[in-house]
Amino acid sequence: MTEIIAPRTEELASPLAGLEARQVSAWFGSHKVLERVSLLMAPGTVTALIGPSGCGKSTFLRILNRMHEMVRGASLAGEVLLAGQDIYHPNQRPQQVRRRIGMVFQKPNPFPAMSIYDNVISGLKLAGIKVHDKNTLVESCLRRAGLWDEVRRRLATPGGALSGGQQQRLCIARSLAVSPDVLLMDEPCSALDPTSTRRIEDTIAEISSQVTIVIVTHNMQQAQRVSQNCAFFLASENTPGHIVESGPTQRLFEEPTDPRTADYVHGRFG
């Protein structure tokens, strides 16, 4: 298989789902790392989580799709609502939650020996999802991830042979294949060069009208470029991570209400 050309089909229209965290606190053992975090992540928007290292942003991100509970000794309190339903309700299966709320990690993690084509559809097999036309789905996901034109003639080559930026977009395509409601991104561009970073940001802009996105970033310019809403996290030696301020990105950067936010977004600390 060297190239697949399939007719594009229209996406089925479905209401977008948002996320809402209500009074979320988190611990690793007896160490409290988050304190009563509440945040609304509106459907079909990009929400950026910013703040210094160690303030709980990535922990919060992992709480949003039940990865936090996979850590030995980890615990939490509060609620996380997806389309109004608590993802931690006893009736909710973690695997199903993680299908609906996907994750793209800081370091690209495609299956290196698996072909590009099989990487895209690998999540379908894990989730037990049957698709009538895999070829069309693969093309659609790679197009949405901004990768199709670069790999269409080598879909049978290993995913590990791609560049770092291409591997990250392949991971995005793999996440999109299972039709998630939400896509979480934990510093997806931190290990990439400026050109690859721009392409990932273009991909985020392309898919943000189709899936709710929450991104952790330490790049203030990136937060301004890609997000509509922003939340500033902070922690200190005696205070767990918490949200100092949240709201529309432009307001947070241009007219923050808390001086600590102004200091951080203008590079005076952190």
Residue 266: Cβ within 10 Å count: 11
- pLDDT (0 to 100) of residue 270: 63
Report yes or no on whether pTM surpasses 0.85.
yes
Sequence-separated (6 or more) residues with CB below 8 Å from residue 185: 103, 104, 204, 213, 214, 215, 216
Domains parsed from the chain with CATH numbers: 19-265 (3.40.50.300)
Predicted pLDDT of residue 9: 34
Quick one: pLDDT at residue 16? Answer: 85
| Helical H segments across the chain, by residue range | 57-63, 94-100, 116-127, 134-144, 148-151, 164-176, 194-207, 220-226, 249-254, 259-265
Write down the pLDDT at residue 10: 36
Q: How high is the pLDDT of residue 161?
A: 95
What pLDDT, on a 0 to 100 scale, did the predictor assign at position 129?
85
Mean pLDDT of residues grouped by 10 in the chain (270 residues)? 34 70 96 96 96 95 94 95 93 91 93 96 85 93 94 96 95 94 95 92 93 96 97 94 97 96 87
| Cα–Cα–Cα angle for 116, 117, 118, rounded to 5 degrees | 95
